[in-house]
Structure 1
Amino acid sequence: MIKISMTQEELKQDFDSARIRHVHFKGKLRTLLYGSSGAEGPTRDPEQCSLGIWVANRLRNGGVYAHLPEACEFDRALRLIHQVANRLMDMYKAGQLEEALAGFPQLQTIADKMTALLQTMEARMRTGA
């Protein structure tokens, strides 16, 4: 395990940036489902999205938070939320707008779990647990 010393403020800023990336993802998907054009890659592919990049750098392969028990769970949830987003975007593109929008609560449930995991990981890092 790599131990990197971070101040409490740096830790807060890092997790705040993850939360902002998470909110941005949901907003981008909602925008796409309401007909705005834009690059779909970051919404479709967890390796292209800014939160996915954060995860790759911090929760995988010896990243600063990779040792936390929630790291793998968060990574799985990230992949799942992208799968749901892909399904909703495909429905939208197939002309099933109402069905796509009706699927948003499922995505929100996963998003809420991810937010809780971020909070738990941040708390663990603050207390050294």
Structure 2
Amino acid sequence: MDLTTLDFQQAKIKQVLFKSRLRSVLYGVREPDATLFAVRDNPLGQWIETVLKPKYGISPEVRSMERLLQDTLSTGQSLVRQYQRGQIEEARQGLAQVERCAEQIDDLLLRMSQQAVGIA
């Protein structure tokens, strides 16, 4: 199975979905649920397991992406705890940390996409 640029774009969309859900929690639009922060329930985590790993195994890029995803989810969970303790503005400001992780994941996705297209 060859991965296409579209596969990597879909992965980026999955990451945007998480950030949107987290932002919704921190702005009081929705209640948090535990699955929001579980790698196995996260759309990007599922994509890594079912699409990326079968093609790239445990390459350094895949390991980095898994670590960054875990950092993103842990940070998001911490921000929700802050929000629930009434530290609303601090929690919202912490979205910048999530964004930094997301940018690093985007960079990895772009590099891997370029490699995949170059290989194909």
Q: Above 0.5 in TM-score?
A: yes
Whether the aligned pair in 1 keeps the contact of 2:25 and 2:32 (CA below 8 Å) is: no
Residue 40 (structure 2) pairs with residue 41 (structure 1): no
**1:86 is aligned with what amino acid?**
Q
Deviation of 1:67 (Å): 5.3
TM-score by length of 1: 0.84
Match of 1:18? 11
Structure 2: runs of 5+ lacking an equivalent? none
User: Which piece of structure 1 moves more, 41-50 or 71-80?
Assistant: 41-50
**Alpha-carbon distance in structure 1 between the residues aligned to 2:111 and 2:59:** 10
Query: Aligned-pair RMSD on alpha carbons?
Result: 1.8
Structure 1: runs of 5+ lacking an equivalent? none
**Alpha-carbon distance in structure 2 between the residues aligned to 1:41 and 1:17:** 23
Write 1 or 2 for the structure with the bigger share of helix.
2
Deviation of 1:102 (Å): 1.3
Identity level (%): 29
Residue 61 (structure 2) pairs with residue 70 (structure 1): yes
User: How many residues of Structure 1 are paired with residues of Structure 2 in the alignment?
Assistant: 120
Whether the aligned pair in 1 keeps the contact of 2:72 and 2:98 (CA below 8 Å) is: yes
The 4+ residue runs of structure 1 with deviation greater than 3 A are none
> Highest relative contact order (Cα 8 Å, sep 6+), 1 or 2?
2
Deviation of 1:65 (Å): 2.6
TM-score by length of 2: 0.90
